[in-house]
Structure 1
């Protein structure tokens, strides 16, 4: 498969595991780097596209567009387009998106609280396992 291939991997037909039906797809979306950052930012309130882009360092216009469209499709974000020139678009979390934001915010808080400990643990591991590369 080429590096530029962006096709979606087809879902395999067959019996579902216990909780596997649809859960992988949802977790893939929630585990996406940009999804988490967009949801955390929208938890602070309504944002226009450019406000979101400025608030999330490193996100490209294309990735923000894809991420907001996916969240909109999933029912986590509401998109409101105003018929102005130039067009103005606002994004806000839906009630389901707000319930997700509470969970993600807790995870973000945990990450901030433990980032130094994790960094120390990684340094210790790297010292004890020189030359072993984990990607």
Structure 2
């Protein structure tokens, strides 16, 4: 994982936009070199790895404030030109959420096939 942006301000649950390390995901996917970044991130091995990561992350989480309900893997890197990355190389959460607002809204409406959902709580 390269960066993660939490999508929670004023939301009923926590979600996250994940900027994955595409090179490592490509190795994990085992697809040929011509596969697009989107194909790599949609591959079963990559989605399974991130699903397991989400399960591990949520172990011991109690309540909506500490549990990620879903993540989505972004195939478009954060942009310096849009202010998503600061001059110091840090992620700018506000800019990411602003520029990717349509994606976030679709995720909260369950209208994205790319969403990786957390396992239900016991």
Bigger relative CO (Cα 8 Å, ≥ 6 apart): 2
> If each structure's strand is expressed as a fraction of its own residues, which one has the higher value?
2
> If each structure's helix is expressed as a fraction of its own residues, which one has the higher value?
1
So what's the TM-score if we normalise by structure 2? 0.26
So what's the TM-score if we normalise by structure 1? 0.25
